Amino acid sequence: MIFGYARVSTEEQNLDSQIDVLQSYHVERIFKEKVTGTKKERLQLQTMMQQLRKGDTVVVYKLDRISRSTKHLIAISDQFEEIGVTFISIQDGVDTSTSMGKFFFRVMASLAELERDIIVERTRAGLKAARARGRKGGRPFKDKDKVNMALKMYQSKEYTIKQITEATGLGKTTLYRYLEKNK
């Protein structure tokens, strides 16, 4: 069986482009997750790993979609090898059914981790520089009056979500986040 695994880091991000590419590889079952790559707990990845059998293939769009570090990627690779599973990373040109593919896989895993570490370092440096200039990061706070009005409008059941968001200036995602908090 050919399994696919697609992951994005946040709820706001979209899996569609990864899924489209995976489907072009005739993947029979796609496991999808919206969780940051640094999280160890990934339920869909664990579920997929439990279902793998000798002769199966796992396809991902890119190496950094399946692992959180080179060490984790190599551990997954070792599990694939123990079970007898082929691993393909489309964007990175990795196919572990060949000796060269196995070698290339390990080199690419190291490069992917290096790239991730560099991005983290740059982000930290940028945040530090912004703080030194008095700027704060993060999502700006919403006006409490607008949030309360949106919640009241929703609870009245007289308004559509579109009417609420237009009247208050809150986005749909923000509105749903506040509704979830108030349950």
**Active site residue ranges:** 9
* Separation of first and last alpha carbons in the chain: 42
Judged by DSSP in three states, 12 sits in coil
Distance CA 21, CA 33 (A): 16
Q: At 54, which helix (H) or strand (E)?
A: none
29-34 β-sheet, strand order: 29-34, 2-8, 57-60, 86-89, 94-95
